[in-house]
Structure 1
Amino acid sequence: MLGTSASGTGPERLAFGILGPLQVQGPHGPVRIPPGRQETIFAALLLEANRVVSTDYLVDLIWDEDPPDTARTQVQICVSRLRKILAEAGLTAAIATRPPGYRLETGDEELDLTVFNRTVGEARVLVKEGRTAEAAELLRSVVDLWRGPCLSGVASEALRTKALRLDEDRLAAIETHLELELGLGRHHQLVGEIGRLVHEHPLRERLRAQYMLALYRSGRQAEALDAYRAGRDLLVEELGLEPGEDLRLLETAILSGDPALQPDARPREPVAEPPRRAPAYREEKPHQLPADTADFVGDPGLTGAVADALGTAGRAVPVVILVGRPGVGKSTLATHIAHRLGDEAFPDGQLYCDLRGTSTEPVAAKEVLGRFLRALGIPGTVIPDSTDERAEMYRTLLATQRTLVVLDDAAGESQIAPLLPGSGNCAMLVTSRARLTGLPGARRFELDVLDVEQSIDLLRRVVGPERTDREPQAAVALVRAVGGLPLALRIVASRLAARPHWSLASMVQRLADERHRLDELAHGEMTVRASLSLTHDGLPAQHRRLLRLLSLADGPVLPGWLAGALLDDDRPRPADLLEALVDVQMLDVVAVEPTGEFRYRFHEIIRMFAREQLAEHDSPAARRAAAERMTGGWLALAEQAHRKIYGGDFTVLHGRAPRWRFPDGYAAELLADPLDWMDREHVNLVAAVDQAAQAGLDEACWDLATTMVSLFEPRGYTDLWERTHQRALEAVRRAGSERGTAALLASLGTLHLNRRQPALSRAYLDEALALFDRLDDRHGAALCLRDLALLERLSGRDDRALELYELAMRDFDRVGDIVGRAIVLTQSVPIVDRRGEGERALARLEEALAIYRSVGYSGGEARALRRLGQMLLQRGEAVEAEGKLAEALALVRAGGDLIGESHLLGNLGELHLALGRGERARPFLLQALAIREQIMDADGAAAIRRELDGLPEAPGGPDPLRAALPEG
């Protein structure tokens, strides 16, 4: 077995170990990885777990400077054998093929290095919160994951260098927990332990300083001074150096008996606040960067200077702006540097957003803040509406973190200013065509074109060294023809790579002819446009058409299925159609779907070029038909996602817009987690609503907008809810669609009901109900009546509310919407119960619960269970109530509903308080408080603190309390 992590990871879950000899533990025992190439490759993948390792790197790792021609094939064979070993051992980890290489996908608790890094991060947070004893305990336990020198026994010098860095991290963690424990007054207990460590690592000055301090505080001043002299002699003898300033100052302080050397706390252990277990909902730190470029070429001096500027922490936030003309490689360099800095410089993650500053509608700072807050763990339902309040919450969250913020293609200072972190621990990297001189303290780096040597290097990487070296003069001429512009060079080089029978000289001539044809353009634009025209014209007709049609999509990152929809091609893997465009650099691969398919992105210049070609070669009717298929694809997926969430077409209205039919099984694979899919694609879905409105596809427009409420409501995307609906409302009113108008008005009524704006909600609902009545649309009427009933209930008018609920239920029954009926039953229960009809209320809840379970709608089931638990508690049936509340808690945790989780934890705490079990109530209330504090809900947190303040002190300190914490 490999050991146990500090945060409770049992050895049975820790499948992989590199903190010592390489070990793999399967469900049935140890798993042998053959020594040699397979062991080296597997170790390299584990060191970069959940990140892509390029095939070129693996080749260099095994063969150093002279790989055979079959090197890449041999790496593929090794990976194939490793996959087989993992599968036969029953391990869930998988080695996925991801350009430009492979990625070993492991769980959070499967690799000892992952556990170590996460736990050190948790300890860092505890220190910042003043919870020193807990931090020290965490660090002390996690260093025990080491079973010897990292990756000992793996024969690779390159990996050994990385392993030594990790061994250094272990020593740093040891030194840190010793420093924390010395601060807690534990010097007597630590003297022997630190002495042994100094003997093992005699040149580490921090350890020696800790040893001196422990000796001095234990009344052994002479021995402390002897330890200094022994260390000084060793440093002089071994390295020819005097001790560092810190060690010399410590010697002086000991000699003078400086009072500052005494600990703040004497040996009595301070009573820590009750432990707050990391809640089960906690998200991983954000890693939002696009993929790095495998064949990156750039100025090492510039790359190093930018990295250094970002890594300089201080009081002010380091801000670096990369400025340059289109195609010069700003985005590529920013992504490369951000990956290079990675978790080592910014252990709390990287936030990324393409601001689309050069498009007609740049992304607003308010929307970016919403995205970033969600990535940082704040549920959408508590994200404020105003930009200023979002910025305040964002700065507060980042205040104790080291996070890198990367903003690509910024339009101006006003777009960036609200996104600046407030702490110098973080850094911001921005790319822009503008110089952005209004950002004080920012460092600007002007990107120039590649020089001849760098350009030739890039050409050799794309075209191949043999072809490039065979025509050295033509290679230089080609570089000069594109002016050293990286985007243009990549495009023409990829064209050459796709045509091995073409000479470099012929490409120079073709490019010269194309440039003469475009000689009215400015130099930089001309270079790119000439390269694009040359590559575009040389593509087969189908690929040219796909490139043109793909420009219809407005989203920043595009899924592969769009190719099938745009061409009306029903092949099983429509993303295959895009590979030819990737090969010639007309499209970039930037991410991978959970299904294993890739996601793509246009360079903005290429998108503009493709749209020009679209206008020139495709008729308005052809463009509209393609847009209809594309929108039909989004609508089909959104509709199926709603069905999977609610168990059918319940509580939603649909129009007559055509859906694009996906290949068999394709949509089901994409929608394995329907709410997660909608969340990942929400930017594209919102863009599709806009595109449908622009194209005059009003039926698809309102249908897609209202279907997306399945995401907007539970995740709190209220600003997008309003934006899409107002956009669609313009479209349906322009088209004269009464049903679409009514559906959108009803949904806007629900939105303002969620926002606690009853007057506005009622106005929308009344107008929608009048339209539905005129159309005799009972399903739409039922949705309005349900929400109007809730408005009456919230206003205290129970009789009118119950009357409207009965009307809504009658209409839901008429159209067969059983989930609509169940929601009415659930919402009406408080009124029925207040009237003293407890049995009738319980019967309503039981019926609603049966409906939710029959269709698999877990959100409704959790709400009904919670209400049922509260009612049972009121009736004195505590055991049954606790069971229902615990069931509901498990459901909301599985669904990632933080607000629901905090409510239910509070309910369980209240249940135990009502039964006089204060100590059983405390851990539930503490966990509810932890959620409220993390999501920055000050009012909710204050209410829970008031309950906690009324509890008696916990006997026996923190340890019994930790044992009492409920499992999450």
Structure 2
Amino acid sequence: MARTARGDGPADGHTGTPAGGTAGTAARAAFLGRREELARLRADVEAAGLDTMAGRPAPRARVLLVAGRPGSGRTALAEEFAREMLASGRYPDGLLRARLTDPAGNPAPTERTVRELLRGLGLATTAGADEDELTGELRDALSRRRAVLLLDDVGSAAQLDGLIPDTRHCLVLAVARGPLTGVPDVRPCTLGGLRSSSALRLLERGAGEVRVTVDPTAAERLAEECAHLPAALTLAGGWLAAHPEAAVVDAVRRINEPLDEPPAADDDPYAPLPAPAGEADPDDEPEPEAEPEHGPDPAPVDDALRRAFLMAHAALPAPAARLLRLLALAPDGLADPHTAAALAGCPVATARTLLAHLALLGLLHPVGPHPGPGHPTDATAAPSGPEGGLEHHYQVPGCLHPLMRERLAAREKPADALLARARMLERTVRLLRGCEAVTEPPGSPARQWLAEQPAAVRFADRATAAGWLEARLPGLLAAARLAADDGQLDTLARRLVAALSRALITHRGAEHAGPELYRLHELVLRVAERQRLPREKAAALLSLGDLDARAGRHTVALDRYRAALEAARAQRDHAADPAALGRALESLGDTYTELGDWQRAADWYGRALSHRQSREDTAGAARLHGRIGTVLGRGGDWREALLAWRSAAAAHRRLGDTGAHAGALAEAARAQERAGRPQEALRTGQEALRQAERAGDRRLVATLRLLLADCAERLGETQAAASHRAAAERLLADDRALEESEESPPLRVQGP
């Protein structure tokens, strides 16, 4: 059974940070007590499990559950206990954390969670790998480590089961709303409210010691109205801090006012924030006509927390209150000054000030700081921000997110909310373009475009852009997913995915960014199918097929390429997509080649050849003749392979490519030799040798000399064979000597 305790607790309502993020030092200093709960967790770590007592110790990690209502400080307690465990030295491999439910209340896919954990271990993952493969990799990696896993916002036992390491040397801290009955031998600790003394100490941090001391009865009443929940107490203290002239009893009256908060008569909740002098307003966007959906119904929220939030929200200035509501649209609950500025339609400097103000009132949690545009990372550069060139990011507390969505639906017009989302996506696309452009050479069109952008959105150097991309990647991926799922901003969604893909390839490389690119291509495919865009659908399917083939999933790749072929053939303006069509045909041939199905590979290459010839693409046709010759030769059909290589040689001769012509003739000679026609192979090889010598390809010349030696021996011409073999050995020896001289450092000759 879950054990409920009312003890000292955390001083804030912190219920989670983004995966991979860290809580700020202020959050650590704010932790209060929970001594009884911490002691119980320590005891649960040491206690023997049920299987151990039965004589059958299970090789699984101990699972400790911290359960409680949103706003009870459950995540803060788990974080504090995790810090204790790390400080004890029992888990030298550190802390891994992930969030299993998104701010809208949707369960995070296990595949995404496992990738985050593997990334935290510094391990690369295979693009497109399924859930079972990834969880197996995670358990294998953790079997050799001693680490703490903090899994926040666990929605069900099924989410947790596949993430538990198969080793007793790791510890799992799960944070959930209620019990997880499907997890074997889980040790639950359910949180209640704070003790009265701790609640009053928490109020003192906002109200000040004097106001609480002067009216202790009102302070105790306010703590009761907040149900002793840390999050509600933090918001009440923030209200008192924002109203230094008010007494504690005023907060008691305010928190008991009706929950239906009417807009102020003199406020226009839809008016954009004014821009300070000298700063330009953001780009205007056309107002969308469709109405946005505000996502799934939020989880139930404690009444005390709701009333405390409404009290804090009503006391905010109109610009800050509107920004707070719009932050419910921030992807994955993450916001930086640029995201906030785009949502509210205000300058970045104004958004930065408002975010800091909301964080001081306990309505946001700072995470970071991280590099940002307009902030150099060079230590010798003059700091342009409060953190010496770094920018704070902010996390919307999970317990407040449903309340912010409610206020958004109640106070903002649907069209205005959609427009705010469009501004945010447009700003994100611009930042990603800048992130890529800063890597281009000076004077290039991309750098010229970057120089024309406002200073607030320019990256100082490549390192700053790379740091920003890595720090914001979870939010950027979440923005791409939300845009693709929305269905109303598909053009922006496609632009965002394209810009993010290019930025990832630029800074990480295509291979290292493969897992993220795979999911981005899936988003493009979803949008293309919804909008009936065959060209985009074919491109996405081809990219996915390439990643599947690279990962060894050839059967899946074949299905992708066939679907891409159908999409490329789809009539649009009475014309198929020739580029995608040719690429799909060749990719099918390549995949069957990897599978060793030579006949089918040759068949698909033949179709691709006909396509290239119909477009009078001689270079492409020459390449495909060669591929057909290769697969037919591997299949033992040397006669047909010889015909293909002769056609390839003729095409390369017409193109004037001497080196490729020599290579095709060499393959034709090899096919003749394998077919038992040494005399013809000797003549063709001699012609290939002349072309290779003209092209200056020494390695090909040596290879051809060895081939000619074999042919001469079969014909009984031993002297000619010996001559060819000796010439080949001289060439190979010279090449080896040249390579060794290039690798060896030059000798230093010292004088007497």
Q: Give the TM-score taking structure 1 as reference length.
A: 0.50
1:714 aligns with 2:513: no
- Tell whether the 8 Å contact from 2:371 to 2:467 is kept in structure 1 after alignment: no
Aligned equivalent of 1:633 = 427
| C-alpha deviation, 1:769, in angstroms | 3.0
Deviations 1:61-101 (A, max 9, x none): xxxxxxxxxxxxxxxxxxxxxxxxxxxxxxxxxxxxxxxxx
Inter-partner Cα distance in structure 1 for 2:24 and 2:309 = 23
User: Alpha carbons of 1:575 and 1:465: their partners in 2 closer, same or farther (altered >3 Å)?
Assistant: same
Inter-partner Cα distance in structure 1 for 2:392 and 2:227 = 32
1:295 aligns with 2:86: no
Aligned equivalent of 1:19 = none
User: Alpha carbons of 1:516 and 1:473: their partners in 2 closer, same or farther (altered >3 Å)?
Assistant: farther
Greater displacement, 792-801 / 440-449 = 792-801
Inter-partner Cα distance in structure 1 for 2:494 and 2:457 = 25
User: Alpha carbons of 1:407 and 1:825: their partners in 2 closer, same or farther (altered >3 Å)?
Assistant: farther
- Tell whether the 8 Å contact from 2:439 to 2:462 is kept in structure 1 after alignment: no
Instruction: Give the paired residue count.
Output: 550
What amino acid maps onto 1:441 in structure 2?
D
- Tell whether the 8 Å contact from 2:582 to 2:608 is kept in structure 1 after alignment: no
Inter-partner Cα distance in structure 2 for 1:733 and 1:776 = 19
SS in 2 for 1:450: coil
Deviations 1:911-950 (A, max 9, x none): 99x9699x99xxxxxxxxxxxxxxxxxxxxxxxxxxxxxx
1:406 aligns with 2:150: yes
Inter-partner Cα distance in structure 2 for 1:288 and 1:403 = 17
Of the three residues 230, 233, 248, the one matched with 1:504 is 248
- Tell whether the 8 Å contact from 1:310 to 1:428 is kept in structure 2 after alignment: no
SS in 2 for 1:362: coil
- Tell whether the 8 Å contact from 2:21 to 2:367 is kept in structure 1 after alignment: no
Unaligned runs of 5+ residues in structure 2 are 1-18, 49-56, 263-297, 373-389, 445-449, 594-600, 631-644, 664-695, 703-731, 742-752
Deviations 1:400-444 (A, max 9, x none): 211110000100110001110111111000110021022112111
Inter-partner Cα distance in structure 2 for 1:355 and 1:646 = 38
User: Alpha carbons of 1:763 and 1:799: their partners in 2 closer, same or farther (altered >3 Å)?
Assistant: closer
Greater displacement, 396-405 / 494-503 = 494-503
Inter-partner Cα distance in structure 1 for 2:99 and 2:421 = 24
User: Alpha carbons of 1:311 and 1:709: their partners in 2 closer, same or farther (altered >3 Å)?
Assistant: farther
Inter-partner Cα distance in structure 2 for 1:576 and 1:688 = 23
1:456 aligns with 2:206: no
Inter-partner Cα distance in structure 1 for 2:700 and 2:45 = 61
Of the three residues 486, 497, 518, the one matched with 1:705 is 497
SS in 2 for 1:402: coil
Q: Aligned runs of 1:251-330 on 2, under 5 Å?
A: 289-291=22-24, 293=27, 294-307=29-42, 309-310=44-45, 316-330=60-74
Q: Aligned runs of 1:800-811 on 2, under 5 Å?
A: none
Of the three residues 475, 500, 509, the one matched with 1:684 is 475
Deviations 1:273-332 (A, max 9, x none): xxxxxxxxxxxxx97544461311132221233245447799542211001112111111
1:422 aligns with 2:218: no
Aligned equivalent of 1:389 = 133
Of the three residues 437, 441, 447, the one matched with 2:191 is 447
Inter-partner Cα distance in structure 1 for 2:226 and 2:129 = 48
- Tell whether the 8 Å contact from 2:62 to 2:172 is kept in structure 1 after alignment: yes
| C-alpha deviation, 1:675, in angstroms | 6.1
| C-alpha deviation, 1:536, in angstroms | 0.4
Aligned equivalent of 1:492 = 236
Inter-partner Cα distance in structure 2 for 1:436 and 1:670 = 48
SS in 1 for 2:366: strand
Aligned equivalent of 1:333 = 77
Q: Aligned runs of 1:606-625 on 2, under 5 Å?
A: 606-625=400-419
SS in 2 for 1:298: coil
Aligned equivalent of 1:557 = 334
Deviations 1:109-156 (A, max 9, x none): xxxxxxxxxxxxxxxxxxxxxxxxxxxxxxxxxxxxxxxxxxxxxxxx
Of the three residues 197, 219, 222, the one matched with 1:475 is 219
Specify the structure having the higher radius of gyration (Cα): 2
User: Alpha carbons of 1:586 and 1:915: their partners in 2 closer, same or farther (altered >3 Å)?
Assistant: same
- Tell whether the 8 Å contact from 1:289 to 1:335 is kept in structure 2 after alignment: no
- Tell whether the 8 Å contact from 2:70 to 2:177 is kept in structure 1 after alignment: yes
Aligned equivalent of 2:119 = 374
| C-alpha deviation, 1:665, in angstroms | 4.9
Aligned equivalent of 1:216 = none
- Tell whether the 8 Å contact from 1:558 to 1:599 is kept in structure 2 after alignment: yes
Question: 1 or 2 for the larger relative contact order (CA 8 Å, sep ≥6)?
Answer: 2
| C-alpha deviation, 1:621, in angstroms | 1.5
Q: Give the TM-score taking structure 2 as reference length.
A: 0.63
- Tell whether the 8 Å contact from 1:572 to 1:664 is kept in structure 2 after alignment: no
User: Alpha carbons of 1:574 and 1:669: their partners in 2 closer, same or farther (altered >3 Å)?
Assistant: farther
Of the three residues 307, 310, 314, the one matched with 1:530 is 307
Inter-partner Cα distance in structure 1 for 2:138 and 2:120 = 11
1:583 aligns with 2:360: yes
User: Alpha carbons of 1:770 and 1:570: their partners in 2 closer, same or farther (altered >3 Å)?
Assistant: farther
Inter-partner Cα distance in structure 1 for 2:160 and 2:487 = 32
- Tell whether the 8 Å contact from 2:459 to 2:465 is kept in structure 1 after alignment: no
- Tell whether the 8 Å contact from 1:582 to 1:588 is kept in structure 2 after alignment: yes
SS in 2 for 1:408: strand
What amino acid maps onto 1:431 in structure 2?
V
What amino acid maps onto 1:295 in structure 2?
A
User: Alpha carbons of 1:516 and 1:704: their partners in 2 closer, same or farther (altered >3 Å)?
Assistant: closer
User: Alpha carbons of 1:532 and 1:686: their partners in 2 closer, same or farther (altered >3 Å)?
Assistant: same
| C-alpha deviation, 1:566, in angstroms | 0.7
What amino acid maps onto 2:109 in structure 1?
A
Q: Aligned runs of 1:42-121 on 2, under 5 Å?
A: none
Aligned equivalent of 1:347 = 92
Aligned equivalent of 1:166 = none
Inter-partner Cα distance in structure 2 for 1:401 and 1:564 = 43
| C-alpha deviation, 1:639, in angstroms | 3.9
SS in 1 for 2:188: strand
User: Alpha carbons of 1:604 and 1:287: their partners in 2 closer, same or farther (altered >3 Å)?
Assistant: closer
- Tell whether the 8 Å contact from 1:295 to 1:461 is kept in structure 2 after alignment: no
Q: Aligned runs of 1:560-575 on 2, under 5 Å?
A: 560-571=337-348, 574-575=351-352
User: Alpha carbons of 1:608 and 1:348: their partners in 2 closer, same or farther (altered >3 Å)?
Assistant: same
Of the three residues 391, 411, 418, the one matched with 1:597 is 391
- Tell whether the 8 Å contact from 2:434 to 2:457 is kept in structure 1 after alignment: no
SS in 2 for 1:419: coil
Aligned equivalent of 1:365 = 110
User: Alpha carbons of 1:287 and 1:768: their partners in 2 closer, same or farther (altered >3 Å)?
Assistant: closer
- Tell whether the 8 Å contact from 1:310 to 1:318 is kept in structure 2 after alignment: yes
| C-alpha deviation, 1:722, in angstroms | 5.7
SS in 1 for 2:331: coil
- Tell whether the 8 Å contact from 1:689 to 1:728 is kept in structure 2 after alignment: no
SS in 1 for 2:329: coil
User: Alpha carbons of 1:439 and 1:566: their partners in 2 closer, same or farther (altered >3 Å)?
Assistant: same
Identical-residue share of aligned pairs (%):
25
